Amino acid sequence: MELKIVESVLVCGIKVQTSLKSIMEFVGSTPDRLMAELAAQGIKPTGAQIWQYTGCDGNPETVFDLLICVPVEQRGQDRNGVAFLTLGSFRCACSMHEGSWNELGKAYEALMGEMVKGGLTMTTASREVYHRCDFENPQNCLTEIQLEVK
């Protein structure tokens, strides 16, 4: 576990409401839609894709807010459900997960356990930063889990 402050960043994103049970409907299609809009506006991403969860409590049925976004070099025009906004700075406990996203639950459990041992209190916000995505060989994926702390 690492404690750090992630600085604020300009992003382009799509906001949705979902649950863990139905989140898979946004994998692939929503990031593709986001990247197509950036290309149409001639704006380049400057970093890895970020999924920001607000209000997710681990229950598969709980509906929460999800922002699927990428850091960008400049602000563009909000349109087609795609918006430009600034993610605020984020104090978090984080860990890197190398491997399939099917194993992310175990990585979250391990990080939360370390937080409890360290006396840290989480908020209801978290982020996943997808440093390496490999749909054909999921064991090659590299995902940073960031849990906001008070």
| Residue 82: domain span | 2-149
Using a pLDDT cut of 70, give the percent of the chain over it: 100
* pTM score above 0.75: yes
Q: With 90 as the cut, is the pLDDT of residue 133 above it?
A: no
CA 122 – CA 138 distance, rounded (Å): 28
According to the model, what pLDDT value does residue 29 have?
83
Residue 44 has pLDDT above 80, yes or no: yes
Band of residue 39 on the pLDDT scale cut at 50, 70, 90: very high
Q: Above 80 in pLDDT, residue 8? A: yes
Mean pLDDT (the chain) is 94
Is residue 28 scored above 80 in pLDDT? no
Q: What confidence tier does 26 reach under pLDDT thresholds 50, 70, 90?
A: confident
**CATH number of the domain residue 116 falls in:** 3.20.80.10
> What separation in angstroms does the CA of 126 have from each of 69, 93, 111, 139, 144?
14, 10, 12, 23, 11
The total of other beta-carbon atoms located within 10 Å of residue 113's CB is 11
Domain count across the chain: 1
Per-residue 3-state assignment (H helix, E strand, C coil) for 64-98: EEEEEEEEECCCCCCECCEEEEEECCEEEEEEEEE
